[in-house]
Structure 1
Amino acid sequence: MTLHAFRRLLVTELRNRRNTIVVAAGAILFLHAAILILTYHSNPQADGFASIMVLNIALFALVLQVPFLHSFSAWREEWRQRAIYQLLMLPVPRVYLLLSKGISLLLETLLLSLVMLAGLWVQYELSGGLLLRAEPLTTFAWSKVLLIYNLLICAASVIFLSTMSMLLGKRAGKFSLLVTFLSFAAGLFLAIVAFANLPTEIGLTAILIVLFLFNWFLLEKKVDIR
């Protein structure tokens, strides 16, 4: 019964983001089409498609802004629409609310990243293999598994750091935006310090666990339904 409730929460979160995800994915495909035209007309002898790769990097950074900004607004929208009161009164553990939003944001990031990678692969084929080196991506190595794990943990940590900042800011009343910004900056600084002093995988995992537990504490003890 509890797992069914969690699944419904997760499906609802994804459904609420469906239009934004579709629009963002469509925009990515449109921009990739423009870059494909540039790739087709570029001279590989001139700069080796370096300018094309700069455009792709800029596009990827822009793509990641969509779930990043949503990680701040996901909870704020609940308060703005006053849906938070019904949400917190649901007969489910509040950790389910935290996990459903976190996982939906992570899935949104993965979906948009896959669309971006698909576009890169089409560009690679069109350039005759000159755009980038595909061999490191198509061969298996455990180091790549660790890299993917680290990237996923980093993405989840940013999501929970944003949630923590928003929850702290919500308690600050008229100073909400200032406290949100300062708490995000302070949390990011402490996470960087911890990461610098711990082994990579252990440090990232520890940061994620601490952020998740602190968010759970805030949601359980510091957020009411008055």
Structure 2
Amino acid sequence: MIELREVGRTFAGPPEVTALRDATFGVDAGEIVAIVGPSGSGKSTLLNVLGLLDTPTTGTYHLAGVDTGSLKERQRTALRASTLGFVFQAAHVIAHLDCLGNVTVPLEHLGIPRRERAAMAEKALLAVGLGHRLRARPNTLSGGERQRVAIARAIVHEPKVLLCDEPTGNLDSENTASVLELLESLVSGDRAVVIVTHESDVADRAHRTVKVVDGVAAALAA
């Protein structure tokens, strides 16, 4: 699903800053891969590259078999929308929309016909265990439930890769375990999950770990 070869990202100065260098690793379908490292190590830069929100200065990045370096901006946007799902530390649920409404939002931007959106959103909410809260408003949900809505929104278009940035950072231990179990259940033969985390117990649940230190990303042994 993901293949990086000697990927680097340098930001123009002065002074010039190399935030990422020589990142070489892959992520296969059916895998959960954790990205770990101290603050300022380059994790965010790496995640932005993986999410097609930034372009490498050096190296190559293939996503779902596509050489992203050869794409024009419109093509990058289309690939990001169709192939990637994003989950962040803050759930970013929309307060005035119920669960179903929150999950249908990305489908509107993808041009999915209105008659299909509700069915797709309901399917996604069922997948995250919220089939009984379709019409619930965010202010009636627990922190863990709000994060489940965010995950449902991220998977509603059935992306091949789910990118998670500290998805359990705002949760207590019980909800953290619940969300991790959910993410594990979403990994399949045609989907991969990448989790950026500073929590060792989260990283321990991954199949493999990529450690980023001073901009250098190295895959650790399984």
TM-score (norm 2): 0.25
Structure with the bigger RCO (C-alpha within 8 Å, sep 6+) is: 2
Structure whose alpha-carbon radius of gyration is higher = 1
